[in-house]
Chains A and B, each alone.
Chain A
Amino acid sequence: MTIEELEQIAESVRRENAKFDYEVSVCMDLACASQGSDKLRDALVQIAEASGKKVLVRRTGCMGPCSHGPLVRVDPYKTFYGHVQSGHAAAIVDRLGGEPVPDLQCDLNEHFDSQMRVVLENAGYIDPEKIDDYIARDGYKALVTVLMEMTPNGVVHRVTESGLRGRGGGGYPTGLKWATVAKAVGDVKYVVCNGDEGDPGAFMDRSVMEGDPHRVIEGMAIAAYAVGASKGFFYVRAEYPIAVSRLTMALREARRRGLLGINICNTPFSFDIEIRLGAGAFVCGEETALIASIEGRRGTPKPRPPYPAVSGLWGKPTLINNVETYANIAPIMRNGGKWFFSIGSERSKGTKVFALSGKIANTGLVEVPMGIKLREIIETIGGGVPAGHKLKAIQTGGPSGGCIPADMLGLGVSYDALMAAGSIMGSGGMIVMDDTSCMVNVARFFIDFCRTESCGKCIPCRAGTAQMHTLLTRICNGSATMADLHLLEDLCSTVKETSLCGLGQTAPNPVLSTLKYFREEYIQHIEQKRCPAGVCKFEAVEVTA
């Protein structure tokens, strides 16, 4: 494969598309598909054919605003239709070339205009099962250019220069990680993609894997070249069957096009990827547990150091990055590290994809430059809290994160700012809560999650989260005393400081952050047996863990 050949493929796709006057893209991502977008697509194809109009009906990955699904975009007009059912197909095709269908049209200009799409640049524009669609949008250009023109050191340097930090949640500088693996001594090295997304309310990685799988594969191949690896593993949770099938197909297509395999682009570089399925354990997103799981062992974390960069899969140097991190690599290679560095805030560069959910008008996927104010995400892009209720808090970072109160909407979204506020960036879940949410109950929900997802290896996480859950349950059902609250705080400190891996070390965060901003609510529960949000029922029963 050469740049010229890529260009030829792109040209032929463009020529093919130019035969049509209209492009009707149908979102077939999970949220839309579950509301019948597959039937809608079939109807559109049939009716378009019968109409005699030159219409290209395209299946795409997630377009973003899931709450408006099933979504349809009509080009060249950039018209969005929301809540489209198969019965609407005739009207849509009929109005092509004329005024849009009034009842269906949804105004998403404000929603999209405030976003900046790098990772999601292809989302909604390509058919995820067609490699040529991806190539037509500059796909694999970065990989081929890197192999033809750059040294591995040069690639690492460019990633370092970009300021990219790990998107899985930790925010570790990606360039530094790559440099460490590149320098590690070993004849065999591995590249791993962590697609074990498991935070409640997070679906960024799923949408990227399902909607633009080649982007992640390209990022992994570039990473493999940079660090000197020839084998990659794609670790995807089994709960994402569509992602698995799209990735399987994408890998096959990439091999067929000679973009994976032996002597890629006639260079000495060889690389291929195997998919490994997670068996439903949240903790397998932790890198040492993920390694154990790929090796076929029980998914439990190991103390670090040694870090996987030095001793990972089967004791070999291993590079592990998150889906979104890899998805950023191709654009960085194409546009340069300085371009990426110019986006974002002081110490958090580039964009971040967030999965907006909860009490907000536009739930779905959004991508924003780092440093953007929370207010803009919630009010402008998210469309605010539906009428009749008041914003209470925003939960970020899943079970490792915390709740940011409504009066902190001026906060700029960056790794450091969120950390200082008692939460974390995390992988990108953002749950909006209004005045019908009880913060004690929210904390209890997340501790319950950590309790059931703890692997059980270290004592503070295994028994500590169970005890915290007992104490929080007491607070929620009105049987707690202030002594229980102090005990809870004590446990938070021990679990946070002494747990073996990130799961336990961050498990107390939802409790600590709600205690920090909503302590009064805890005290009302304990002293007045009153739940301000009206969620908790006070039946004074004794509970044990």
Chain B
Amino acid sequence: MSDAGDVKTLIIDDKEVSALRGQTILEVARENGIDIPTLCHVDGLGDVGACRMCLVEIKGSNKLQPACVTTIFESMEVSTNTERLQKHRRTILELLFAERNHICSVCVANGHCELQSLAQAQGVTHVRLPYRNPDLHVDASHERFTIDHNRCILCTRCVRVCAEIEGAHVWDVMGRGIDSMIISDLNDPWGESSCTRCGKCVQVCPTGAIFDKSKIGDPHPKYPDFLPYLNLMREAK
């Protein structure tokens, strides 16, 4: 990987940076202190490019590309924070807030929620769209954890961590479009599923959708940082 031919130079937001071949725009940007907002991406899991928050503009193409899965090339010029991108990011966040029932003040993740902080960082002050107020259930059948579908943004981090890291593949997605739901096993109650009780999905869930029952009433920060370390140690073996 490290021979000289594999090192590329490119420009991100007018800043000249160097990168290794095969790296994604997101990796390179973050290495160089340039923040690109993300929701479905979490370090240590495979990327799906689904949340569209990390879309960036690449010079020479009118099409927006997700930074998490787009690999860099020599002399690439990337803009990560144009007015056009900001507008789309705010609209996407509004779509999320209006999609299900996000009420920060009563949420276990209040103050530690990636959706909440992202909206604040992106300057979302109002939601112009009509709230859909869907009738969704809360599955508290598990002895330690709860999944509240009202707060789920379908980022599929739980699905990926369970399949890729834990190897259990308890979580998956059912239905399609606006009716998509995260399910455990074949839509069984979580408490009766093949869950290994490892709790990885709790730590990667960006909102208060999946939480630890013992944390209700207390601050509930999530710690997804174990993933890159876990991957590293597994590879080292």
Interface residues of A (CB under 8 A from B): 281, 283, 298, 302-303, 305, 451-460, 462-467, 470-471, 487, 490-491, 493-494, 497-500, 544-545
B222 at the interface (CB under 8 A from A): no
Binds A, one of B8-16, B90-98, B103-111: B90-98
Pick the contact of A303 from B66, B87, B92, B98 — CB < 8 Å?
B66
The answer to whether A497 touches B88, judged by C-beta atoms less than 8 angstroms apart, is yes
Q: Are B52 and A455 interface neighbours, CB within 8 A?
A: no
**In the assembly, what is the distance between CA of A487 and CA of B98, in Å?**
14
Q: Can you name the residue of chain A whose Cβ is closest to the Cβ of B66?
A: A303
8 examples of A-B residue contacts, CB within 8 angstroms:
A453-B177, A454-B176, A457-B48, A457-B50, A457-B156, A491-B129, A544-B133, A545-B130
Contacts of A458 in B (CB 8 A): 49-52
CA distance A459 to B176 in the complex (A): 12
Asked if A470 contacts B130 (CB within 8 A), the reply is yes
B163 to chain A, nearest CB (A): 11
CB contact under 8 A between A456 and B49, given known A497-B64, A498-B64, A545-B178: no
Q: Across the interface, name the chain B residue whose C-beta is closest to A505.
A: B63
A449 nearest CB across to chain B (Å): 11
Question: How near does chain B come to A470, taking the closest CB pair, in angstroms?
Answer: 6
A303 to B24, CA, bound (A): 13
CA separation between A305 and B61, bound complex, in Å?
14
Which chain B residue shows the least CB distance to A464? B95
B130 engages A455 (CB within 8 Å): no
Task: Report whether B130 and A462 are in contact in the complex, using a CB–CB cutoff of 8 Å.
Answer: no
Contact of A456 among B51, B84, B178 (CB under 8 A): B178
Residues from chain A with Cβ under 8 Å of B64 in the complex: 497-498
Closest residue on chain B to residue A299 by CB atoms: B176
Q: Is the CB of B133 within 8 A of A494?
A: no
**A281 partner residues in chain B, CB cutoff 8 A:** 176
Q: Does B179 sit at the interface, judged by CB under 8 A?
A: yes
Name the one of A298, A454, A487, A500 contacting B129, with C-beta atoms under 8 angstroms. A487
**Number of contact residues on B: which range applies?**
35 or more
Shortest C-beta distance, B158 to chain A (Å), equals 15
Shortest C-beta distance, A347 to chain B (Å), equals: 19
- A487/B128 in contact, CB under 8 A: yes
Residues of B within 8 A of A464 (CB): 95
Contact (A494, B92) CB under 8 Å given A463-B99, A463-B178 = yes
Chain B residues near A493 (CB-CB < 8 A): 88
Q: Chain A: which residue is nearest B96 at the CB level?
A: A459
Enumerate chain B residues within 8 angstroms of A457, measured Cβ to Cβ. Answer: 48, 50, 154, 156
Closest to A469 in B: B178
A455 touches B177 (CB 8 A): yes
> Which of B49, B70, B84, B178 is A462 in contact with, Cβ under 8 Å?
B178
- Distance between A55 CB and nearest chain B CB, rounded to angstroms: 52
Q: Does B217 contact A (CB under 8 A)?
A: no
B227 to chain A, nearest CB (A): 21
Residues of B participating in the A interface, judged by any CB pair closer than 8 Å: 48-52, 55, 64-66, 69-70, 84, 87-88, 91-92, 95-96, 98-99, 128-133, 153-154, 156, 172-173, 175-180
Known contacts A303-B49, A456-B154, A458-B52, A466 near B91 by CB under 8 Å: no
Measured CB to CB, the closest approach of chain B to A87, in angstroms, equals: 47
- Per the bound structure, the CA–CA distance linking A463 and B177 in Å amounts to 8
Q: Are B52 and A500 in contact (CB under 8 A)?
A: yes
Q: With both chains docked as a complex, state the minimum distance between the C-beta of B73 and any C-beta of chain A, in angstroms.
A: 11
The answer to whether B96 and A463 touch across the interface, beta carbons within 8 angstroms, is yes
Contact A544 B95 (CB under 8 A): no
Quote the shortest CB–CB distance from A497 to chain B (angstroms).
6
Among B48, B92, B131, B175, the residue within 8 A (CB) of A460 is: B92
Name which residue of chain A comes closest to B65, CB basis: A303
Which residue of A is nearest B49, CB measured?
Answer: A303
- Please name all residues of chain B whose beta carbon is closer than 8 Å to the beta carbon of A467 when the two chains form the complex: 95, 98, 129-130, 132
Residue contact A451 to B91, C-beta cutoff 8 Å: no
- A484 nearest CB neighbor, chain B only: B130
Chain A residues in 8 Å Cβ range of B99: 459, 462-463, 466
Would B91 and A494 count as touching, CB distance under 8 A?
Answer: yes
Q: How far is the CA of A491 from the CA of B91 in the complex (A)?
A: 8
Q: Which 3 A-B pairs have the closest CB atoms?
A: A456-B180, A454-B177, A303-B49
Q: CA separation between A309 and B23, bound complex, in Å?
A: 21
* Complex Cα–Cα for A466 and B66 (A): 23
| Contact, CB under 8 Å: B176 / A455 | yes
Cβ of A544: which chain B residues have Cβ within 8 Å of it? 130-133
A544 vs B98: C-alpha distance when bound (angstroms): 11
Interface centre among B64, B129, B133, B175 (most CB of A within 10 A): B129
Having A305-B70, A454-B177, A487-B128, one finds 9 other A-B pairs with CB under 8 Å, namely A298-B173, A303-B48, A303-B70, A452-B176, A457-B50, A466-B177, A467-B129, A490-B91, A497-B88
Report A-chain residues with C-beta under 8 Å of the C-beta of B132.
466-467, 470, 544-545
**Residue of B with least CB distance to A282:** B176
Taken together as a complex, chains A and B put the C-alpha atoms of A298 and B96 apart, in Å, by 23
Q: Which chain B residue has the least Cβ–Cβ distance from A283?
A: B176
Give the residue of A302, A305, A465, A470 whose beta carbon is less than 8 angstroms from that of B177: A465
| Contact of B88 with A498 in the complex, beta carbons under 8 Å | yes
How long is the Cα–Cα vector from A4 to B51 in the complex, in angstroms?
A: 59
Cβ-defined partner of A459 (8 Å) among B50, B65, B130: B50
Complex-state Cα separation, A298 to B181, whole angstroms = 13
Chain B residues with Cβ under 8 A from A455's Cβ?
Answer: 176-177, 180
B176 touches A456 (CB 8 A): yes
* CB proximity of B94 to chain A, nearest CB, Å: 9
* Given known A-B contacts A458-B51, A544-B133, A451 and B92 have beta carbons under 8 A apart: no
Contact A500–B91 (Cβ < 8 Å): no
CA distance A458 to B40 in the complex (A): 10
A403 to B230, CA, bound (A): 54
A462-B177 contact, Cβ under 8 Å, with A303-B66, A467-B129, A494-B88: yes
Q: Is A451 in contact with B95, judged by CB distance below 8 angstroms?
A: no
